[in-house]
Amino acid sequence: MSVVTVPADDVNPIREALDSGITVDTSGSTSRPKRVRLSGGALVASARATTGAIGRGGWILALPLTYIAGIMVVARTLVDDTPLVDARREPFDPRVFARTIGELPEGVWFTALVPAQLVRLVDFAEGDTVARDALRRLDRILVGGQATPAGLIERATGLGLQVTRTYGSAETAGGVVYDGRPIGDAMIRIAPDNSIDISSSTLADEYVGDPDLTESSFAVDDGGVRWWRTTDLGAVTDGVLAVHGRADDIIITGGIKVSLADIDRVLADAGLDAIATWFPDETWGQVPAVVSTAELDRDAIRLLIETTLSKESRPYRFVTVDTLPRLESGKIDRRAVRALVEPPQT
């Protein structure tokens, strides 16, 4: 197997975008996808911010070019004039990916993955020393796009992998916070409702065709600084950002706030391939539910969640599926998950 370069037909549109800008779709994991317009300057600023944070090197593309994370992998190599290797596979194959890394020429190499891909790589490398040695050749693995499962980073670093958590979105031209700290000229502030605001030269210009959403999401403060209001909740301690979940992951059941992200963490800590969601209820308003890939001991799960979190956090409905629905990027498709537990329309 030889190293494969990314086809010119995939690279050239991104090369042009560095001058003229690009329109990309948000992931749409929790709501209808939105179209985001990014200037060429925002793409270049994002690429340079990453280089400033981790250094200059070649990149291995393992993400689709329909998402900003994949686009930015290519953009970084164009801005820095560094090598680009194509490792895209559908579905993602950790054996093929590790083999690709093992055949790279000498030099500095990076890649960007979503957590689902890193999970599969770590699972494979823990039982394969050749793969483990190959992956150690990577000078950095950026991982982002969704919440990272508990213990994954520790497992990866235990194998000798260099992993950096990233936080960002299509609206920020990719990651603007690495391991909790802003990169480039990015700034973070926490709003009174605990949501995260971001300022950066990488911010999008607009939501295409939606001026009302653009106006409500982007604002210039009295000092002339432009901010994007995210729907994520978080806190900053000693300059380090901790993301606590999405505002739309909070449901109200019987007048009490319940965090689906907290339920997800309890399920993950228990080693379950499961995700929390909700459905409407005439009595309580919104109530939690769990979708899993294996039949669960429902009483045991309810007790675990109640004792760990609260009585209101106990799931009312359980659904078992062969695989959890995912988007092309590897993120959980939360809209599809919720549809699995919605009561049938009558």
Angstrom distance (rounded) from CA 133 to CA 128: 9
pLDDT at 32: 64
Tell me the pLDDT of the chain (346 aa) as tens digits.
457 899 999 999 999 999 999 999 886 555 567 899 999 999 999 999 999 999 999 999 999 998 899 999 999 999 999 999 999 998 899 999 999 999 999 999 999 998 889 999 999 999 999 999 999 999 999 998 777 776 889 999 999 999 999 999 999 999 999 999 999 999 999 999 899 999 999 999 999 999 999 999 999 999 999 999 998 989 999 999 999 877 778 888 877 888 898 899 899 999 999 999 999 887 788 899 999 999 999 999 999 999 999 999 999 999 999 999 987 767 788 889 999 998 665 4
The residue assigned the tokens 């990076």 is: 110
Where are the strands (E) in 13-62, listed by range?
22-25, 35-38, 58-61
**Is 14 in a helix, a strand, or coil?**
helix
State the Cα torsion 196-169-287-253 to the nearest 10°: 10
Domains of the chain: 1-247 (3.40.50.12780), 254-341 (3.30.300.30)
pLDDT at 72: 98
pLDDT at 255: 77
Q: Say if residues 110 and 138 touch (Cβ distance below 8 Å).
A: yes
CA neighbours closer than 13 Å in the CB half-sphere of residue 261: 15
Entry pTM? 0.81
pLDDT at 199: 98
Please name which of 267, 289, 293 lies closest in space to residue 277, comparing C-alpha atoms. 289
Within the chain, how many helices (H) and strands (E) appear? 11, 20
Q: Say if residues 219 and 227 touch (Cβ distance below 8 Å).
A: yes
pLDDT at 186: 98
